[in-house]
Structure formats: structure tokens, C-alpha cells
Amino acid sequence: MNLRSSQWPLTARDEQLADFDAAWGTCRGLVVSGPAGVGKTRLAEEFLARAVRSGFRGGRATATAAAAEMPLAAIAHLIPPGVDLSDPVAGFTAVARRLAGPGRDRRWALLVDDLHLLDSASVVLLRQLTDAGVVRLLGTLRTGQPLGAAVVALCGDPSVRRVDVGAFTPQQTDAVLQQALGAPAARRTSFELHRVSGGNVLFLRELVEGASAAGRLTFDGELWSLTDGEPQATSRLTELVDARLGAVPEQGRAVLELLALCAPVPLADAQALAPLPVLADLEAAGLVRTTTDRRRTEVCLAHPLYGELLRAGLAPLRRRHHLLAQIERTTAGGARRRDDRRRLAAWQLAATGTADPALLLEAASLARYAHDYPLAARLLRAAEAEGRQSVTTRHLLGEVLFELGDTVEAEAVLADADAAAVSESDVVAVAISRTMNLFWAAGRTDDALAVIARAQARVTGEPWLRMLRYSEAAVRIPAGQPEHGLALLDDLHPELDAHPDLDPSAELRPAADARPGPDGGADPAPWLAGAMMKVAGLDLTGRSAEAAAFAEAVHRSHERLDQRSLYPHPASQLIGLSASLRGLGRLAESREVGERAFKQLTEADISVPAIWLAINLGLTEWLAGRPATARRWYAEAAARARTQRSANALHAALHGIAACVAVLGDGAAARRLLAEADAGTGLPLYRDTAYLARAWTAAAGGDLDGARRVLRVGAAEAAAAGIRTTESLLLTETARLGGAREVVERLRELAPSCQGAWPAARLSLATALACDEPDQLLAAAVELQTLGADLTAAEAANSASVALRRAGRTRAATAAARQAASWAAHCEGARTPLLLPAETTTALSGRQREIALLAANGATNKRIAGMLSLSVRTVENQLQRAYVTLGIAGRQELPAALGVSGVTSAGRQPE
């Protein structure tokens, strides 16, 4: 992919384009202002193109410092030949007359790039031309640059509008990347590119093009991802940044180098290298910025790229000098901040390749709690190299490897720690971590439960047995045994204070030669994991309101722990809250909570819970009827699951993508994804996604009967496990695919045992579809749309239109169809049987429609007969009647008549 060969699309500038459209008809000009690299010229070029399309003649000039040395040099090529400028007044008047043309009807739009560099004579001429109405000015102006008096007068004219352009927001960066790459970027990739570029479009383009040229930007069929850590600067980008850093004096350069290695640093430490006036100059130049953290003023670099380029240019001995000097300054200051010990160890290791083993272990524990897993792994391996291998180091390293996605080595390391554990606290702590790795990463449920059972046989203390019981529950609930798991968690309360076992004086983590946490207190991770799964268990069994309340209380309790235990990250607790809000039918709140948590996890670089959160967000968007958005969330989960080597998560994510692709009309792609997904096994907690994928892939091929069979199997499995929310969902999908009559009674039975708005809405939909009563269908549509379920609302309204048309109520049918189309417009191109055109659905019987859909998707008459248990003759007769009813000649015209994608001449759906 050669991104340099074409201009990047103009994206995320709708507000500025609207400003132009509103102002251009009445103003004398527009000036685009902003810092360097934010896309001022690209936007001004679009303004010029719009002006030309509206009837203006276009001209362009670029002001430079060199051209400013000679009057009119920048715009000399725009001055008509033969004009005598020896008398400026007469000459400028002649320029205006010649540009206006004999009929004085020519209008010019003139773009001047870098207007702040324009010489005074050129500014005066432009002012005269704009005053005469011959030229409308378009210009770019770099903020922070000195302006001449003439430029100030020109740009300060009220009739010359100012359009301010700033750096991209994260959302704008994401939109630009999608347009430039032709497909979405993984959210982690988008976040990193935004962070490193600072939202500067010039830097962003260089980073993307550099990563692409180096083969570090790869496409997995769904998303673009950086494959090797942070984006790296190109040579051109290095030149651009070096131009800013090159003029910094020696003292200032030393400060910048220190910040590149150790930022943020206290202001006093920066002043040890340069006096305050030098630091103030660096701040004024936009090279550093200061922040206040409690009572300490800290200094850091103003842009992430500065640090990367400064580090790359540092000689080894100068790097060592800066690090050792900062260690000395921090130690002399008492190293009182919580993360000072972690930073000291990292600096010592980077400077000398070694450090005090006790400091390394302490720093590794702190890094693990702060979620800096790469640093934690380096510190732990360094500690082991110093001969400090123990249960503690093995345990910590195993946890860190799990977070880094190396689950195979994590199991080997944790198995070593398990075998060496002697104390009850060690046995329990290691068993819990090992269980998490075996179950969540490797999908080895039986092995995980066996580890818990062996640990239970090795301990006698009630606190330890309780922690193991919580961990067992955290396996059984997602393994499809929610009632069993909830029974094990019966005494787990949402407030940590209610659990005396977790008093800070207790030692849960092994602490033979390292502090267990940032303040030496107990690690409540087993309670946090158990609480997270209790929320899931309550939601799965239909107690979604209880689940939401429990999740909110647990999250508050988790946040109160502050830095004492941020493992797992507090945002992990929001996964259950988002899911339970979805279970209650509060889709907008579920989305808001989930996206907020995902942002927090991405910023903290926490991948494992982010995978499951993305899967949850995918289901939320699925229920909202936004299959393209859901597809991106599932693709995000799949990309992260591959990186983390999580087979369970990949299984669920691929099924989610397949379901979305099928509803978007690409049955062939859905079948390929299903084949890949079904090669593995997944967690029962997310098995609803597998059934959705199989059913909707069958439906995309016209096999509605097969789709209903799949859903019936899934609903029965969920019922046997007591997973009421999944059963309710799959029964509703059955109704949507033509099986309303067979599910109404079971939905009626489930409704009293499931909390929230979904049970009533789903029962209303199924009942209305079963009796085909238009007023009930319209009422169900409104009920569903109120929940945010636009697709099912559109289906209900469209079904009402069909019933009304059949009853001869044409005007009401048209209104219902219009309402259905309005809601369906929010559904990102979804295609479902209940959204077929009302005229078609009204004309065909249910059996004719099912046979016609199968034929439209390439099934032969013999195959259709086998699938529907009919004779071939019956299929032929029904198809002939359908052709007559639809007014078409034969099978080739069925896809267009039914509004489906159909098949190619080779019998395959187009890809």
C-alpha cells in the first residue's frame, strides 16, 4: 500500500466546511489559522475548490521568508503582463481592472499560503483587490508567528472571516485513519497514532506512511494494526522535528534530553540543569509544558515525538549520565512518591544493566500494579538473573506473562511457583493466578478447576478457603454454571470493608522478599474477580437490575482502593455494569459505560479485560441494530485476542463478526468466518454469539428453517444451564426469523423471572408477530425503539405495514412503512427477512417467501426440497407461483425482487 501516492482525504473538518459555506457568499475572504502541521493548507485548498465550483476563477500563491525580501515577489505570477507598477496607485488600479475583465464580471478566489510571511506591498495590493470586489481572499496563517502591520490590518478587517483549525481529537484521528486506509484502524493503533502524533495531521501522515513502508502496519481483513509497539518516526519527520529542536541552547537541550529519559520530573530537577528563564523560553516555544500534581510542579515534553527522537539521538554515555544524575537527585529528595521506587529501578537498570535485587523486586511489584507489564517483566528477569528466583518472582512473572499474552510460558512459570509454594498464602495466591491463566487464556476449564481443588486440599485457614471458593466461582459462572457459581459467592458483598479477610494487615500475596503491593497491604484481587463474576452470574440468570446495582457498588469500592490495588484495573468492573445495563434494555447507558471503560483500559494499555469488553460492546451494538459498529467491536476483540493468544476470546469474536457480516448481506464471508471460529471452542458465557452467527449465516443463505433449528438448540442449552438472558435473546431471534408462534409461550414463562424492559418488549414482539396484528406490531415497534433497538423496531413496523396492506388499509400501511424506513436508516445497511419490501411480503405466502429466498441464494430445487422436507414438484410449483406473483420471468430476477444480494453466475455470493 503506497499512501504517499495520493492526497489524504479531507476528513473531520465538517464544522470548518460549514463555516465556509455559510460565509463565502457575503465575506471578502477567509483565513485559516492554526499551528504548524494541522492541515491548514489542505482545508484552504478545499475552500478554493468549492469557490471554483461556484463560479470563481482560482489562483494560488505561497509566501516565503525569501520572497518577502522583494515586494510583490510572492504574487508576481498573478499580476497580468504589461501592467506598469512604477506608480503603485495607478498600477494597482490597472491590475484590478485587468483581472475583472472587459465586462467587469470576472471574480477571483485567491489562495495565499503562509499569509504571515507576505510582504507589505503584496498585502496592500490584495487589500485593494478585495475592496474592489475583484478578489476574495483565502489564506493560511500560522498561529504564534509575528505578523506585520499590513497583515494585521488585512486579517483584522471584519469582512475577512477567521476559521480556526486545531489538532485532531482522538475521534477525528480515528475517522481520518479510516478514510486514508480504507478500513478502520484497531482502537489501540488509533490511540497510539493519535498519542504520538499529538493530533497533528502532518505528523500523523508521516507516522502512517512510515509504518506502512516498513511493513509494520498490517491488515487482518477487518482492521489495520501496528504490529510492533509504538509508531516510529520517518526520516522526513525527524527533519521536521529537528528543525524545531535545533535552535535550543545547550542548557535547554540538556533539559530536553533529561525529559526524554525520565519525564515527568520535578521543576527543581529541571532547574538543576537550566535556570528558570531558559525553562520559560522552552515552554514559550512549545517544547515543554508544566503541570501541577498536588504540591509538586512537574515538567514534561510538549509532544511525544520529541522524546522518541531525542532518545534515538543520545549517545550511550550521555544517556547513562542523565539517568544516574536523576537517580541521585530523586534519592536525595527522599523518593517519597508512590512510583519513585519503580522509576529508580527502571533508570538504574537502563543505565547500568543491573540494580539492587530487592529494589528490582519491589519495583516489579509496583510496575505490575501500575499495569506497566513490559517494565515489570524486565525487572523480574533482571532480579532472577541476580539470583533472586523465588515463589514471589515466579508468581509475579507468571501474572505479567499472562497479561502480555504469553500464556504458555505463563503456565510453565506459575506451575514452578505452585510446586515450590509452601505457606498457605503462597499456595492460594499462585493457584488463583494459575487458574486465571488456564481458564481465561487457554480455555482449559477442567485443568483450572483441578488447580483450585489441589490448593483447597493444601490449606486449612478459612480466609484462604474462601478466596479459593471465590476463584472457583469465577470459573464456574462463565463456564456455564451460573447458579453453582452464585452459590459459592453467596457471602461475597459488594463492599470490600465487609470482608475482614482482606484487611490490609492480612497477607494474601506471597511476600517472602518483596512487598505485595504499593503500600504493603493485602491484595484483594480474588475478591475483585469473584465480584466481577457475581455480576455476570446475576445478569445471566435474569437478575440484571441486581447485577447493575452490585456492579456499581463494586466499582465504587474498587476505586476507593486507589493505588493500593489496581490489579485488575478498576475499569474491568465496568464490563459487568455495561452488560447488566444491556440486559435491562438500557442500551444507550450500556454503550456509554462500555466505551468509557474501554478508553480507560486502552490508555492504561490493559489488553485482557479490553478484549471481553469489546465483545460485550459488540453485543450491545448488535441489539441496537448497528451491525457495522458491532462488527468493528468484534474485530477489535479478535485482533487483541490474536495478540494475547486467547482462544476463548477469539472464538467469541469471530462468531460476532460472522453474525454481523451475515446481517450485512455477505453470506459467503460469514461462512468463511464460521469455519475459522468453529475450529476452536469457547466459553458458554459467550455461546449466544455462536448461535447468532450460525443462525444468521443460514438466514443470509435463505435457509430460515435451518436458522430456527440452530436457535432452538441454543435456547434449549441455555434453558438447561439456567442462563435466562441468553435463552430470551435466542427465542426472540427465532421469532424474527419466522418462528414467533413456537416461542411465545416460553417467552411468557420467562418474563416474570427476568428483570428490566427486555422481557416485556420481546414478548410483545413475538406475540404481535405470531398473531400478525398490525396495531400490536406498531405498539411493539415503539416499545423496542424506546429501548434503542432500532432494527427490531423497524422490522416490527415493516411487518405492521405488511399486515395493514393485506387488510386494505393502504394509507396506514404507507405510514408504517415510512416509519420502518426511518428507523432502518440507522441500521447501517442491515438486511433481514422482516425488512423485505412490504409489497413483496404481502404478495407471497410464508412458504413461497421461504422457498424464494433459498432459490435467490443459489439453492437448487432438490436441495430446497430436502431442507424443507418437501417434494421437488412442490418446490417447483411454489416457485412458479412466486414468479407470477412478483411479475418476474424466473430465478435470475429473484434477488432483485426480494431485495437480497443473491448469487453470481458461478453460484457464489459476491464478495
**Cα separation, 81 vs 900, whole angstroms:** 63
Residue type, 597: A
- H or E element in which residue 653 lies: helix 647-663
Residues 6+ apart with CB under 8 A from 545: 580, 584, 755, 756
Q: What Cα–Cα distance (Å) separates residue 621 from each residue in 477, 594, 631, 821, 894?
A: 24, 11, 9, 19, 31
pLDDT for res 911: 29
The C-alpha cell that represents 829 in the structure block: 445497511
Distance of CA 880 to the CA centre of its chain: 49
**Cα separation, 479 vs 533, whole angstroms:** 11
Look at residues 635, 605, 600, 601 and name the one whose alpha carbon lies nearest to residue 618. Answer: 635
Whether 531 contacts 573, CB under 8 Å? yes
**Cα separation, 143 vs 33, whole angstroms:** 6
**Cα separation, 571 vs 573, whole angstroms:** 5
Instruction: Give domain 14-164's CATH architecture.
Output: 3-Layer(aba) Sandwich (3.40)
What is the tens place of the pLDDT at every residue in 60-77? Answer: 888 877 777 777 777 777
* Common-topology check for domains 14-164 and 846-911: no
User: Does domain 846-911 match CATH 1.50.10.10?
Assistant: no
Query: 124, exposed or middle or buried, with CB in 10 Å at 0-12, 13-18, 19+?
Result: middle
pLDDT for res 841: 61
What is the DSSP annotation of 746-770?
HHHHHGGGS-SSHHHHHHHHHHHHH
pLDDT for res 843: 62
Q: What sign does the dihedral 716-722-725-728 (CA atoms) show? A: positive
Whether 567 contacts 369, CB under 8 Å? yes
Domain layout of the chain by residue ranges: 14-164, 170-229, 846-911
Q: What Cα–Cα distance (Å) separates residue 790 from each residue in 66, 87, 662, 700?
A: 60, 70, 18, 20
Q: Vertex 267, ends 308 and 240: CA angle to 5°?
A: 30
Q: What Cα–Cα distance (Å) separates residue 612 from each residue in 9, 80, 405, 649?
A: 33, 66, 14, 7
Q: Which residue has the cell 492460594?
A: 428
What is the side-by-side order of every strand in the sheet holding 288-293?
A: 265-266, 296-301, 288-293
pLDDT for res 497: 62
Neighbours of 833 (CB within 10 A): 19
What is the DSSP annotation of 332-354?
HTT--STTHHHHHHHHHHHHHS-
Would you call 772 helix, strand, or coil by DSSP?
coil
**Cα separation, 398 vs 368, whole angstroms:** 11
Q: Which residues pair with 34 in a beta bridge?
A: 142
Whether 627 contacts 664, CB under 8 Å? yes
Q: Which residues pair with 141 in a beta bridge?
A: 33
**DSSP 8-state symbol, 438:** I
**Cα separation, 102 vs 700, whole angstroms:** 65
Peptide bond into 524 cis (omega under 30): no
Mean pLDDT, contiguous 10-residue spans, the chain (911 residues): 58 83 84 83 88 87 78 78 74 78 79 83 81 83 74 77 86 89 91 87 86 87 83 76 82 93 92 93 87 83 85 90 92 78 86 84 81 86 85 91 87 95 92 92 90 96 90 94 96 73 41 36 71 94 96 87 62 94 96 95 86 96 97 95 87 96 92 88 85 95 92 96 96 96 97 94 97 96 97 96 91 93 93 78 70 80 80 81 74 75 40 29
Backbone angles phi, psi at 108, to 5 degrees: -115, 140
Neighbours of 211 (CB within 10 A): 23
**Cα separation, 261 vs 308, whole angstroms:** 9
Looking from the CA of 144 toward its CB, the CA atoms found within 13 Å total 8
The C-alpha cell that represents 701 in the structure block: 443463505
The C-alpha cell that represents 852 in the structure block: 424464494
Distance of CA 661 to the CA centre of its chain: 19
Buried b (16+ CB within 10 A) or exposed e, 253-292: bbbbbbbbbbbbbbbebbeebbeeebbebbeeeebbebee
Q: Which residue has the cell 459459592?
A: 488
**Cα separation, 759 vs 773, whole angstroms:** 20
Q: Which residue has the cell 516565503?
A: 64
pLDDT for res 6: 54
Residues 6+ apart with CB under 8 A from 601: 569, 571, 572, 607, 609, 610, 613
Whether 670 contacts 658, CB under 8 Å? yes
